[in-house]
Amino acid sequence: MNLIVRSVFILAFSAIASTAVADEVTVGPRPFFLIDSMKDGGLKSRLLSCAGMPMKKKLFSIGHRGAAMQFPEHTRQSYVAAARMWAGILECDVTFTKDKQLVCRHAQNDLHTTTNILASDLASTCIKPFAAASGDKPASAECRTSELSLAEFRTLTGKMDAADKKAVIVEDYMNGTASWRTDLYAASAGIVMTHAESIRLFQQLGAKFTPELKSPAVEMPFDGFSQADYAQKMIDEYKSAGVPASDVWPQSFNLDDVLYWIKNEPEFGAQAVYLDGRYDSGLKPDDAATFKPSMQELADMGVRYIAPPLWMLVTVKNGKIAPSEYAAQAKAANLRLITWTIERSGPLKTGGGWYYQSIKDLTDDDGVMYELIDVLAKDVGVAGIFSDWPATVTYYANCMELE
């Protein structure tokens, strides 16, 4: 799609998107499939009792990269789909191009799995061109936004995030979508977005914002662009758009980014979210001695929100899902919790995968999804849940009358 045609398409799509979310929307069949899969009991009865109620937008329901279970992540289509499921907050993961423009991508170096770059003229910009699988060596590639100008980035088309590591030709490598997802909605153009464009779209959709400042794949400073410049530029784009700080939850796995916002942009820093990835460096959710810094030390630094993956907040006690020591320590330090990501793994009937590892002995049925959400909401006390299919969380939040 050339740039002129694409610009016209974006303008037309923006006009449609601004009125795309009706006063009342349906959440589709997914929540009811999960409820039907549940064991009989009070929670199932309560959820069934809400079947006929109108759904409303809920801040508790956060669109993770939009509606990435079925729509190409970080595309306009994905964001609109999430808003139609009444996600109250939408996420743009923020990285930058060669000319230091902010764009929505989960990683600076994921273009080979999330876009059509390998099938385009821009394949020559990839720092690691496609290499076919050979013997025990998997197929590979690496393509970065930092190798493209913004104008070049705009020519890409989003696709479902996937790669076939057994591929010997590039077409097969690009066609690795998991069986429990779909390419049905990726068949039409997945419009990639700048961060500023996402802000305008979310405003039109009536959603609030949770941008994540992604760790660069390049060494910083990048052509004079420092990490502090990067963190500041993301906030500046909200200020330029007139978005109040109370509508923005900026996120980062880098604690220094969060502390930068707390110090230099205190209004935005008040809702800055520390994404906790310390499970990669020895943190054990059942052992407070491994929490370095401790929850109270984080609170003393000014951190108010912390966001670990689902499995860090729960454990199994007496055969039931229960809050972990991590959750208890966060609560004691008055840290607000957000968690990720519901609907990010395959069917729970087959174990659920990484996101459910701490309750894997219980994940033998898809209905466990709502049992987990219920514990996270009522016992752990999370303020919000990211989901790749926001309807699942939206339905629960409406039924339980959450914010």
| Tens digits of pLDDT across the chain (403 residues) | 444 444 444 444 444 444 445 455 679 999 999 999 999 999 999 999 999 899 999 999 999 999 999 999 999 999 999 999 999 999 999 999 999 999 999 999 999 999 999 999 999 999 999 999 999 999 999 999 999 999 999 999 999 999 999 999 999 999 999 999 999 998 777 999 999 999 999 999 999 999 999 999 999 999 999 999 999 999 999 999 999 999 999 999 999 999 999 999 999 999 999 999 999 999 999 999 999 999 999 999 999 999 999 999 999 999 999 999 999 999 999 999 999 999 998 899 888 899 999 999 999 999 999 999 999 999 999 999 999 999 999 999 999 999 9
Judge contact between 173 and 162, C-beta under 8 A.
no
- CATH code assigned at 20: 3.20.20.190
Judge contact between 116 and 152, C-beta under 8 A.
no
Single-letter amino acid, residue 146: S
CA distance 87 to 206: 10
Q: Is residue 146 part of a domain?
A: no
Handedness of CA 105, 109, 114, 118 (dihedral sign): positive
Structural domain total, the chain: 1
b/e burial code for range 229-265 (CB count within 10 A of at least 16 → b): bbbebbbebbeeeebebebbbbbbbbbebbbbbbeeb
Domain of 317?
Answer: 3-107+187-399
Q: Is residue 295 part of a domain?
A: yes
CA distance 87 to 177: 24
CA distance 53 to 276: 36
DSSP alpha helix (H) spans, 115-179: 150-154, 170-173
Query: What tokens appear for 34 in the block?
Result: 């999960």
Q: Is residue 153 part of a domain?
A: no
Q: What is the DSSP letter of 219?
A: P
Q: Is residue 234 part of a domain?
A: yes
Query: What tokens appear for 226 in the block?
Result: 């420092």
Q: Is residue 127 part of a domain?
A: no
Q: Is residue 135 part of a domain?
A: no
Q: Render 173-216 in DSSP notation, one character per residue.
A: HT----TTS-SGGGSS-EEB-BHHHHHHHHHHHT-EE--EEPPP
Q: Is residue 67 part of a domain?
A: yes
The order of strands in the sheet holding 102-104 is: 102-104, 93-96, 212-213, 251-252, 273-275, 305-307, 336-342, 384-387, 58-63, 87-90, 208-209
